Amino acid sequence: MVGEFDGLAETVRVEGARILATLIRTVGDVQIAEDAVSEATLAALTAWSVTGPPPEPRAWLTVTARRKAVDMIRRERDRAGKERDGLLMMELSRSDLPPDGVMHDDQLRLIFICCHPTLSPPTRVALALRTLCGLSPAQIAGVLLTTEAATKKSLTRARHKIAAANIPYRVPSEPELADRLPAVCGVIHSLYTAGHAPLDSADLYDIDACAEAIRLAELLHVLLPDQLMPTAVLSLLLLTEARRPARLDAAGTVVTLDRQDRSRWDAPAIARRIELRNDSLLRSQQQADAYQLQAAIAAEHARATSYESTDWDEILRLYELLLSIAPNEAAGLGRAVAAAEAQGAATGLALMGDLPHTARWHAVRAELLARQGRYAESVGALDEALAGGATRADQEFRTRRRAELLQMAWPD
Amino acid sequence: MAEYLALVYSADVDWWAPEQADELAEYRQFAVQNADAIRASVVLHPTSTATVVRVQGARGGPVITTDGPYAETKEALTGFYLIEADDLDQAVAISAELPAARNGAVEVRPVIASR
């Protein structure tokens, strides 16, 4: 029964988030709209756990949320002696759903305001989780590894800034989209990354940030089908997701790519995604963006039937392209690994020189040193990696690997 | 319509010095081009002319003044514009045309009230 209830709670949350956008536009007040939706979702949970969900859950929630909003506006009016627009009350008493096109625009407006470039990147992620995914501050704190109080504070600050600074609630025009989409895609991507590398406490929470990120990527792709960046982000996320089941073994320990059981990859999903990515590449007349290149790299890994048959030359070429348009540490390490596979460990090690010495840097260096038979140095590098922060699964893997390498270095 | 204060942070220059003439002309050009949006503008003397005022204890207590700026920083407040705009996007677009947006920074703050 618990599972059934979770499924219901999920439907209610997802549908609630979808109708919020339209209600915000109708009411013109984010707080009233959010409160109305959250009261409607509570009512839905109570009613549906007895009767089961109605044939059209979204319509039920919409009508209920509108009624709750009317109650709230009336209460506020009585208290403040304010007159509210009669048209608004009429709009809210309707029982039909707005047309799809209107709902799409409402959703886009909400997405672009949550991901506005004048808000800090962490604030955008928190707002997106609250407003677009319908998560509670406690659940957001779980995903972002912060406290509920801190999350509430940052959400309040963000809402205050949106209102005080008059951040516009509108869909950017076609020429503006190119400037605004990277912020939106960045939110989706970092949300996925947060879910993909959960630290210790994260499995205490039942929210799958990866699933939320994919849902948002799908939504953005559906809402802006002609834009390439959302397509690229979606294919990157889905290609990565298809390989997720093999990343950890039954005991929850990290399994590196070379040892993963590729039969646990979701092959049909991978085939579909490679198609999606190819389509996005075909449509891009200009230079590929960073997400397309990352998706291309993920696709190369995904299409290889074994670690040995991976086309490392192609992956190396893609990493070099990626570094030329979006230099960052992860891409630099990726290139070093690809170069080590394609041209030998020495080439890989040489390429690592300039990169920042993070825990992951030391771990990669340890593996490349081991390839060259320099086991003692490799153990030293892993010690450095273990001293830095990492997920519990990563730490366990590195501890075990260190023991193996120690054995290689000093066989007795 | 909303009002924003665009605070100009740049090198702590003396705008009257001859070597500032070119940049000052750029600011004048900005003011002409955005005359419709600009409600007020202020150009400041360098921070070396500043005086910080504090009153010790309660109201009516001794007035303590110190010579120089409130905080020593590489970039100083050298002027500001009161801008009227539809929303933050428009205020940001206007502020981005200021020379300080390239060689310093412009802080855009929504205004509660002005007169």
Is any Cβ of chain A less than 8 angstroms from the Cβ of B89? yes
Tell me what pLDDT residue B81 has. 97
* A149 and A201 part of one domain: yes
* A125 and A221 part of one domain: yes
Last residue in a domain, options A338, A354, A370: A354
Residue A33's domain comprises 1-98
> Given its phi and psi angles, is residue A208 left (phi above 0), alpha (psi -120 to 50 degrees) or beta?
beta
* A287 and A268 part of one domain: yes
pLDDT < 70 regions, chain B: none
* A149 and A214 part of one domain: yes
Residue A6 lies in a domain: yes
Last residue in a domain, options A176, A192, A225: A225
Residue B90 lies in a domain: yes
Number of domains in chain B: 1
Nearest chain A CA: its distance from B82 CA (Å): 14
- Alpha carbon distance A187, A148 (integer Å): 20
Residue A302 lies in a domain: no
Nearest chain B CA: its distance from A113 CA (Å): 11
Nearest chain B CA: its distance from A116 CA (Å): 10
Q: Report whether A381 contacts A360 (CB < 8 A).
A: no
Q: Report whether A189 contacts A291 (CB < 8 A).
A: yes
Residue A326 lies in a domain: yes
- The closest alpha carbon to A363, from A342, A343, A322, A393, belongs to A393
Q: Report whether A359 contacts A385 (CB < 8 A).
A: yes
Which residues does chain A have within 8 Å of residue B86's beta carbon, measured at their own beta carbons?
Answer: 166, 168
Which residues does chain B have within 8 Å of residue A167's beta carbon, measured at their own beta carbons?
Answer: 87-89
Last residue in a domain, options A336, A354, A372: A354
CB contact under 8 A, A166 and B2: yes
- Alpha carbon distance B15, B2 (integer Å): 29
Is any Cβ of chain A less than 8 angstroms from the Cβ of B40? no
CA A178 to chain centre: 20
Residue A335 lies in a domain: yes
Residue B58 lies in a domain: yes
* A81 and A120 part of one domain: no
Tens-level pLDDT at each residue, chain A (412 residues) = 345 556 778 888 888 888 898 898 888 778 888 899 989 999 998 998 888 888 888 889 999 999 999 998 888 777 666 666 677 777 787 777 788 888 888 888 899 999 999 999 889 999 998 988 888 888 888 778 788 999 999 999 998 999 899 998 888 988 888 888 998 998 999 888 877 665 544 454 456 788 889 989 999 999 998 888 998 999 999 988 888 888 877 777 778 888 888 888 887 777 777 776 666 666 665 567 888 889 889 888 888 888 888 999 999 999 999 999 888 888 999 999 999 999 999 999 999 988 889 888 999 999 999 999 999 999 999 999 988 777 777 888 889 899 998 888 888 6
Tell me what pLDDT residue A212 has. 86
* A114 and A206 part of one domain: yes
- Alpha carbon distance A316, A130 (integer Å): 39
Residue B11's domain comprises 2-110
Residue A306 lies in a domain: no
Is any Cβ of chain B less than 8 angstroms from the Cβ of A177? no
Residue A304 lies in a domain: no
* A249 and A322 part of one domain: no
Residue A209 lies in a domain: yes
Tell me what pLDDT residue A197 has. 61
Tell me what pLDDT residue A2 has. 43
The 3-class SS string of chain A reads CHHHHHHHHHHHHHHHHHHHHHHHHHHCCHHHHHHHHHHHHHHHHHHHHHHCCCCCHHHHHHHHHHHHHHHHHHHHHHHHCCCCCHHHHHHHCCCCCCCHHHHHHHHHHHHHHHCCCCCCHHHHHHHHHHHHCCCCHHHHHHHHCCCHHHHHHHHHHHHHHHHHCCCCCCCCCHHHHHHHHHHHHHHHHHHHHHHHCCCHHHHHCCCCHHHHHHHHHHHHHHHCCCCHHHHHHHHHHHHHHHCHHHCECCCCCECCHHHCCHHHCCHHHHHHHHHHHHHHHHHCCCCCCHHHHHHHHHHHHHHCCCCCCCCHHHHHHHHHHHHHHCCCHHHHHHHHHHHHHHHCHHHHHHHHCCCCCCHHHHHHHHHHHHHCCCHHHHHHHHHHHHHCCCCHHHHHHHHHHHHHHHHHHCCC
- Alpha carbon distance B19, B13 (integer Å): 10
Number of domains in chain A: 5
- The closest alpha carbon to A57, from A77, A73, A43, A76, belongs to A43
- Alpha carbon distance A242, A377 (integer Å): 35
* A127 and A200 part of one domain: yes
- Alpha carbon distance A141, A131 (integer Å): 14
Tell me what pLDDT residue B52 has. 94
CATH code for the domain in which residue B12 is found: 3.30.70.1060
Residue A147 lies in a domain: yes
CB contact under 8 A, B86 and A164: no
Residue B77 lies in a domain: yes
Residue B115 lies in a domain: no
Residue B52 lies in a domain: yes
